[in-house]
Structure 1
Amino acid sequence: MENKDVDEILKQKLEKGARISPVLPEGIKNYLIDIDGTICDDIPNEEPERMATANVYPDALKTCNRWYEQGHIICFFTSRIETHREVTEEWLDKHGFKYHSLLMGKPRGGNYHWIDNHLVKATRYRGKFTDLVEKEVTIQVFKD
């Protein structure tokens, strides 16, 4: 499925005033991607003047845009605060990132634990933004 199909589904839901999220087609992933230190230089919120000139990680741009073109949903989820939205959107657009949404105000720090009634996959960025591969790991689950 191409992203224009997913875009059309999302657009139709919004035009109809839908208050619910659309169900993603089979095989389509919803990527939540951090910005600072993941797709560009790690800029702290205390230095917003640097956000407009952050260096993009070319492998992140290429990979994110390929996922977008494959029909996946791209949502940037950042610790930047709402007052940084404009500079963030301008930076994303200037560098050619294709995305569907931008969520601001993610809590800072690295101890995230997502609990959901759906399967959630997480990948820690460690300096190389490439396609994802399958790997067996140990995870925390609820006690029986």
Structure 2
Amino acid sequence: MSKKVKLQTLEKDGEKLSPVLPKHIKNYLIDIDGTVTEDVPNEEPERMATCKPFPDALATLNKWYEEGHQICFFTSRTNEHRKVTEAWLKTHGFKYHSLLMGKPRGGNYHWIDNHLVRATRYKGKFTDLIEKKVTIEVFEE
């Protein structure tokens, strides 16, 4: 199901950095519940069988996949829900490269990484992304 994208290994001041995607390729990490379909809590897994995807999410994500971007679903569904989640994604035609289970629950998490992380809050409609200047928190230098 996945397209392969060649990673580039960069060096900075003689130090090798982790491989990165080409500049024109984005690596999307996308929540499932409440973002590409209705919010189905782990405590109500029977709802997974009947929920439908948001049409704009399906169309936009599959377009991004076809453009060569990396699509990884990241969900707080537990690993015991992996098979039903994979079946749901396949049934509804989502194209993706990977699926990570066990995202922190609660929504107010802070991601710290050695790579630049961009976050976009889903507010009810999937479209192409636009650039916008915002204030962020960073570590003191």
In the superposition, the TM-score normalised over structure 1's length comes to: 0.84
SS across alignment from 2:48: helix
Counterpart Cα distance in 2 of 1:4 and 1:140: 34
Matching residue within 132, 137, 140 for 2:137: 140
Counterpart Cα distance in 1 of 2:3 and 2:45: 33
Is 1:102 matched with 2:99?
yes
Counterpart Cα distance in 1 of 2:88 and 2:33: 12
For 1:84-123, list aligned pairs within 5 A.
84-123=81-120
Counterpart Cα distance in 1 of 2:120 and 2:100: 18
Is 1:71 matched with 2:68?
yes
Counterpart Cα distance in 2 of 1:119 and 1:79: 22
Matching residue within 41, 45, 67 for 1:44: 41
Equivalent AA in structure 1 for residue 46 of structure 2:
E
SS across alignment from 2:99: strand
CA RMSD of aligned residues (A): 1.7
Structure with the largest fraction of helix: 1
C-alpha spacing 1:22/1:139, structure 2 compared with 1 (3 Å): closer
Which residue of 2 is the match for residue 30 of structure 1?
27
Shift of 1:33: 0.1
Q: Decide whether the 8 Å contact of 1:32 with 1:77 is kept in 2.
A: yes
Structure with the largest fraction of strand: 2
Q: Decide whether the 8 Å contact of 1:40 with 1:54 is kept in 2.
A: yes
| Deviation sequence 1:93-120 (CA, Å, 0-9, x none) | 0100000000001110111211122211
Structure 1 runs (4+) deviating above 6 angstroms are: none
Equivalent AA in structure 1 for residue 79 of structure 2:
E
Structure 2, unaligned stretches of length 5 or more? Answer: 8-17
SS across alignment from 1:76: strand
Is 1:58 matched with 2:55?
yes
In the superposition, the TM-score normalised over structure 2's length comes to: 0.86
Is 1:124 matched with 2:110?
no
